Amino acid sequence: MGDQYRVTFAGFDADTDGQNAIERLAMKLGVSTQKVEAFTQGKPLFGSSEKNKCLKQAKLLAIYGFQSKIQEIQTSSSNVANHAANERVFEALDYITSSLIRIEEKLEDLEQRIDGQQKADDDKEEEQWQSDDLFDELDLDSEPKPKSKKLLYTLLSILFVLLIVLGFSLAFPEMVQF
């Protein structure tokens, strides 16, 4: 990572009208005049960049009558730590991506193996269905056990009683109060 620089405002040329220069520069850059005015008050107009780019920015400002200085920006340890953290995140994402690709390849291999085994199993099943050995093991003559209807009758009787109570309460609401 190279050194970073920023263009700062130093003043106007002697023969330059400040307001006119601000309006022309704002129109050229496609920014608001307030942003250019803020630049004349010490706020940055351009982001930090390489020295060559800052020199080009200073030449542009000189065309419109601005005097400027190029200042080196001190990189703080937090920027270095932030950059290192970003690098670790990118390395982790790269590892995850490559792991996902390997997993996807293994899944494709397993699908191909399973498809091959299923075809072989289907062929074996077709052969087995042709033999009567499977039917010999089954007890096809047994009748299903009759289910008890005691629970059904109990539920129906409770429902019937509740319907009678509901009808009575609707017919005579003054007699039945809950």
My answer on whether 95 and 39 are in the same domain is: no
My answer on whether 71 and 125 are in the same domain is: no
For position 126, what pLDDT does the model report? 63
Name the helix (H) or strand (E) containing 73.
Answer: strand 66-73
Residue 49 lies in a domain: yes
- How big is the CA angle at 122 (ends 120 and 123), to the nearest 5 degrees? 65
User: What CATH number did the domain enclosing 58 receive?
Assistant: 3.30.1390.10
Q: Which token pair is 144?
A: 């299903």
My answer on whether 9 and 53 are in the same domain is: yes
Residue 25 lies in a domain: yes
- Max CA separation in the chain (angstroms): 115
Whole-prediction pTM value?
Answer: 0.42
pLDDT in tens, the chain (178 residues): 567 889 999 888 888 888 989 999 889 888 888 999 999 898 888 888 888 898 999 998 999 899 999 988 876 666 677 788 888 888 888 788 888 888 888 888 888 888 878 777 776 666 655 555 556 666 666 676 777 888 889 999 999 999 998 888 888 888 867 6
Residue 53 lies in a domain: yes
Measure the CA–CA gap between 138 and 122, rounded to whole angstroms: 21
For position 125, what pLDDT does the model report? 65
For position 136, what pLDDT does the model report? 62
My answer on whether 90 and 43 are in the same domain is: no
Torsion of CA 128, 129, 130, 132, to 10 degrees: 90
